[in-house]
Amino acid sequence: MLKFTDIKQVYFLGIGGIGMSALARYFASQGIAVSGYDRTATELTAQLEAEGIAVHYDDNPSLLPASLNLSDSLIVYTPAVPATHQELKTLIARGFPIHKRAEVLGIICNSRRTIAVAGTHGKTSVSTITAHILKTSAKGCSAFMGGISKNYQTNLLLDSTGSEWIVAEADEFDRSFLHLKPELAVITSMDADHLDIYGSHEKVIESFRLFAGNIKEGGSLVLKKGLPIESDPSSKYQLYSYSIKEPADFYADNIELKNGYYQFDLVTPELRIEKLVLNYPGLLNVENSVAASALALLAGVTPEDVRQALATYAGVKRRFDVHLKNDCFVLIDDYAHHPEELRATIQSVRDIYKDQTLTGVFQPHLYSRTKDFADGFASSLDLLDEIVLLDIYPARELPMEGVTADLIFKQIKNKNKRLCAKSDLVGLAETFKPGIVIMMGAGDIDTLVEPVKEQLLKHEDC
């Protein structure tokens, strides 16, 4: 790869992805010319364009910047871009080395004191909370986050105080996180996922163990209690556990729900921090806060820093993101796209809004994930009172024979279920019973949140 000091321009294939856009913003902040392609115009790509980054949406080699050359240009791509992509094929034919996003992120992070947040779910919230704690403390940090922080309205934090720390979301997809060599790390979960890449749950777990092995000598791993990574006397890092269910090295105690938000004591190996208030709903976010607080304390922040940051944490877009709250409806948008994520999100809503009708709209993400976990999705969705199931969002995949949303639908036991085309959802929302509506999925279901909100505001019972 080119030395970063030699790079004058960077071109991104898939610039609109959450991880890719953070890298694009990083290079632009360094005064480097940045441009890129993405398949679809989104709110995020519009923001990139407003920041001076050129983006186009046609796979057309003639739109590649004429100034790209081998001596000073870096090409970054995401594996979501298919090998048949015409711009990708043209750049390869011209002799350009093509670098994965994870490889570039690793080069940036590994020269710093890195806090890496890994897990099949929970990592975006934990990385964002961790970054917020450090950012509001004297320690400071930069951060590459896997979602848009509502505190900062961005997925990239840049430090101007000379902080040594950088927080990075460590993505297990395509084993990307193995490019990182962190000083501090957390693993929130190791559920079976991305089986199209790994083949088996055992291979997923093996990859997380390799990630743990990348932690620098003298560093620390914070591990959700019960995950199958054992303490090894020969390990070069210190292993800590965390939990909200039972005593661990870091755990939440005396959890109380007050006015929709949680208060709890954080117990650490050295002290108890009493009556912390998390200014964001959901019991799952208490667990995320325990993990984030553990990392931040190990990085040297004070207990008071943790207290103040949790009280001012505003959340992440598309993570338990409340869009409407009136006398009739609460509308929540969430990125949940794995059976365990759906279960955690639905249960958190149940805990807060007891005895209210809970309607869930779910858009499955990927044919392979639907095929692998159809029964798990059905089981989680059965926790709802009313279920609306949309068609599969394919993302990077081509259709698979026999794999449709009906694989999930036919296993749902709840009779209050409906299959719905995405184009029909807004009209269907007119029939939703007053109560809580959760829209879940990692595809483009978020584009329907505002139209559904407008429909709910017209509801005749309100």
Q: Structure tokens of 317?
A: 């877009």
Residues 334 and 444 in one domain: yes
Q: Is residue 272 part of a domain?
A: yes
CA distance 120 to 208: 10
**Residue 105 belongs to a domain:** no
Domain shared by 276 and 420, yes or no = no
pLDDT at 3: 78
Whether residues 180 and 31 share a domain: the answer is no
pLDDT (0 to 100) of residue 238:
95
Domain membership flag for residue 133:
yes
What pLDDT is recorded for position 6?
A: 87
Count CA within 13 A, CB hemisphere, residue 375.
Answer: 1
What's the burial of 231, exposed, middle or buried (CB within 10 Å: 0-12/13-18/19+)?
Answer: exposed
Here the CATH number for the domain that contains residue 373 is: 3.90.190.20
Range of the domain at 341: 321-457
Do 160 and 302 lie in one domain? The reply is yes
Query: Which of 312, 338, 353 represents a domain boundary (last residue)?
Result: 312
Residues 379 and 327 in one domain: yes
Are 257 and 351 a contacting pair, CB within 8 Å?
A: yes
Instruction: Give CA–CA dist 213/57, Å, rounded.
Output: 40
Are 251 and 372 in a shared domain? no
Among 290, 312, 334, give the residue marking a domain's end.
312
Closest CA to 57 of 41, 69, 78: 41
- 144 and 50 co-located in one domain: no
> Is 2 a member of any domain?
no
The residue ranges of the chain whose pLDDT is under 70 are: 1-2, 192, 194-195, 232-234, 461-462
**Is 1 inside any structural domain?**
no
What is the number of domains present in the chain?
A: 3
Query: What are the Cα distances from residue 8, in Å, to 25, 156, 205, 206?
Result: 14, 21, 39, 38
- What is the reported pLDDT for 462? 67
Q: What is the pLDDT of residue 172?
A: 84
Q: Are residues 339 and 426 in the same domain?
A: yes
- Specify if 246 maps to a domain: yes
- Domain assignment present for residue 166? The answer is yes
Look at residue 192 in the predicted model and tell me its pLDDT.
Answer: 67
CB-based contacts of 451: which residues, under 8 Å, 6+ apart?
426
Query: Last residue of a domain, which of 67, 100, 133?
Result: 100
Which DSSP helix (H) or strand (E) runs through 184? strand 184-187
* Same domain flag for 307 and 175: yes
- 175/61 same-domain check: no
Q: What angle do CA 148, 376, 330 make, to 5 degrees?
A: 45
Q: Which amino acid is at 44?
A: L
Any domain includes 74: yes
Same domain, 295 and 325: no
As given in the structure block, the two tokens for residue 302 are 């004070």
Identify whether residues 40 and 169 lie together within a single domain.
no
